[in-house]
Amino acid sequence: MIQLAIEPPHCFQWNPQPPQWLLKGVMTGQRTALMREFPFVIGRALDCQLVLPDSKELRNTTSRRHCRITEDAGRYFIADGSVDSIPESGLKKPSISGTLRNGQPVKEPEELFPGDAISLGPWGFKVEEARNFCVDIDEALQLAQAGKRSTMKPKDFKTVAGYKQLHELLQELNKFENIEECLTRALAFAAEKIPAAEVSAILLDRRGEAPAARLAWRRNQGRIFDFKFSSKLLEKLSVEEPFFLAPRLADPSSSQNLQNITSALLTPLSGGGSRLGVLYMDNRGAQTAFTDDDLYLASVLSGIISLQLGAERQIFLGRMEDNLRQYFSSNVARKLAAQARAGKPPQLEVAEKTAAILFVDIQGFTQFCHAHKPRGVSELLTPYFKLMAECIHRHGGYVDKFLGDAVMGVFPQAEPGRAAGDAGAPALQAVRAARDMIRAWRACSNSGWGRAMPLRIGIDAGRVVIGNIGFPGRLEYTAIGDAVNIASRLQKLALPDSIALSDSGRGLVEKEFRCEKIGAKGLKGVGEIEVWLVTG
């Protein structure tokens, strides 16, 4: 196994999603980048395994996919250019400035060896043999059960000790672009400032699941990918306050010597009124042991890490709620986000509710498709779907699905305990949304395609079943029931730029809208019903 090394001030930063290395100009302590996946592509493209910095100047010296490293039966080879061939020639696309191995251009794939130098554009790397080390902390957790703990005394004046060292760290954290960089720098800081902290890790609690290592670090090695520990041993420790173990038990057993652990330090991570996990550190065979000052510094460091984890969680939940609002009503999105914040898996259980169902489509859409290329159809549908969704959301509904050019909107009855009034009447909400749809789309289609593209809208209201429908491999949050079927068929009966209602639907909206009867119509699967059009 090999890895790439680079000299300061540049460094490598690990990005877990997608799994890749980023070359950075700010030192966070990661001098080497372990190659875990082949082909290992190096370039400016965001899908490379090592992503190089991108700028107008650098584009003249480094390519999007500059070079690649492959593995074959434990041997490693470097080649210039992209992985995929150019369709026209069947050849690999060469890099803009070439790839050098030990100062010589790479023209054909060449075998790599530890000690080789690789140059591409302004960047230079050394090839090193990587030690495939595994860190297992179960021995330390077992020692913690029997070892003598030294804990913090809240009123001790020593709580001030080491705080000045944090100013430098806080200044650095403000420069980083993401929380992953901040957490990495925090563990690198622990390795620099706490002599006994050879291995450190952020171990996170997970509701309903075993704790997991979010990030692990080893001094002079960088990020640890193979980090092991027993979640049961960690849970038995009940880390409620910072503590460290007295150095090595007087008579350690041979099993306790396996990892050569002499001392360990653990501090709780917490935020939002709950425990987040544990900041763990240990010392492996060194003469230096943890001290009271180290404990105080580690305690403050765990506070900084807790803040970072809390901010990450809030950012995630905020983005999740914003994304949910694109698909569900504000009430549903708020409910799902609240469940996630409480640590519960989001649930959209199947339930029977009163709701209005709206179907809308574009009259003449089939003919439009015949007369236009796929790109033209897409240019029609994109603004159309956007406008329809905006009108539905504006009036308290949500988009259930898109079916070709048809859009299905659902307007559920207000939840118990929430003031309803006219705004809470699903049928009224649906008709208001439908009126907005016609006005907004008429202005858009008249100016965009040279001719009118009228809408046809059908609405019905009644009891429906709403929730996750399907099977575990394919669930869809949707509404089913007679009102859905009737609204779909009424939409096909509607006149251009009109809203068709059933007789029961007309009774729900006539206090606000004038309706005109167009007579009895036979609906497939439903029978004959009176159909009304909204006229004002």
Distance from C-alpha of 408 to C-alpha of 423, rounded to nearest angstrom: 20
Strands 20-24, 50-51: pairing is parallel
Output the six-digit token pair for 98.
Answer: 């070439």
Following CA atoms 499, 412, 462, 432 in sequence, which dihedral angle do they give, to the nearest 10 degrees? -20
Given this model, what pLDDT does residue 347 score?
Answer: 61
Give the predicted TM-score (pTM) of the model.
Answer: 0.52
Given this model, what pLDDT does residue 451 score?
Answer: 61
Q: Are 131 and 252 in contact (CB under 8 A)?
A: no
Tell me how crowded residue 111 is: count the other CB atoms within 10 A of its CB.
11
Phi-psi region of 278 (alpha: psi -120 to 50; beta: other; left: phi over 0): beta
Residue 455, φ and ψ in degrees, nearest 5: -100, 155
Distance from C-alpha of 300 to C-alpha of 242, rounded to nearest angstrom: 10
Query: Burial, 212: exposed, middle or buried (Cβ in 10 Å; 0-12, 13-18, 19+)?
Result: middle
Q: Reduced to 3 states, what is the DSSP secondary structure of residue 479?
A: strand
Q: Going by C-beta distance under 8 Å and a sequence separation of 6 or more, which residues neighbour residue 262? A: 247, 248, 283, 284, 285, 286, 289
Q: Which of 457, 426, 448 shows the shortest CA–CA distance to 362?
A: 457
Report the chain's terminal Cα–Cα distance, integer Å.
75
Residue 257, φ and ψ in degrees, nearest 5: -90, -5
Q: Which of 288, 295, 219 shows the shortest CA–CA distance to 248?
A: 288
Q: Which of 93, 101, 116, 96 shows the shortest CA–CA distance to 52?
A: 96
Output the six-digit token pair for 35.
Answer: 């190659």
Output the six-digit token pair for 171.
Answer: 């200044």
Residue showing tokens 């897409």 = 378
Given this model, what pLDDT does residue 445 score?
Answer: 64
Strands 498-502, 455-471: pairing is parallel
Cα 392 to chain centroid distance, Å, stands at: 27
**Domains along the chain?**
2-129 (2.60.200.20), 135-317 (3.30.450.40), 348-534 (3.30.70.1230)
The CB-side HSE value for 291 (13 A sphere, CA atoms) comes to 11
What are 124's strand-pairing partners? 119
Following CA atoms 335, 336, 338, 341 in sequence, which dihedral angle do they give, to the nearest 10 degrees? 180
The CB-side HSE value for 302 (13 A sphere, CA atoms) comes to 30
Residue 423, φ and ψ in degrees, nearest 5: -65, -20
Output the six-digit token pair for 121.
Answer: 């554009």
Distance from C-alpha of 498 to C-alpha of 435, rounded to nearest angstrom: 9
Residue showing tokens 């009966």 = 493
Task: Give, for all 536 residues of the chain, the pLDDT tens digit.
Answer: 899 999 888 999 888 777 889 998 765 668 899 998 899 999 999 889 999 999 989 999 999 999 999 999 889 999 999 888 766 566 788 999 999 999 999 999 999 999 999 999 999 999 999 876 788 888 778 877 777 777 766 555 444 545 566 666 777 777 777 788 889 989 999 998 899 999 999 999 987 788 999 999 999 888 998 899 988 888 888 888 887 776 654 444 443 444 567 788 999 998 877 789 999 999 876 668 888 888 888 988 998 998 888 887 777 667 666 666 665 655 566 666 666 666 565 566 678 889 999 999 999 888 888 888 888 888 888 889 999 999 998 888 888 889 889 999 999 887 554 444 444 489 999 999 999 999 988 877 655 555 678 999 999 999 999 877 776 566 677 889 999 999 999 999 999 999 999 988 898 998 889 999 988 888 887 888 888 999 87
Given this model, what pLDDT does residue 29 score?
Answer: 63
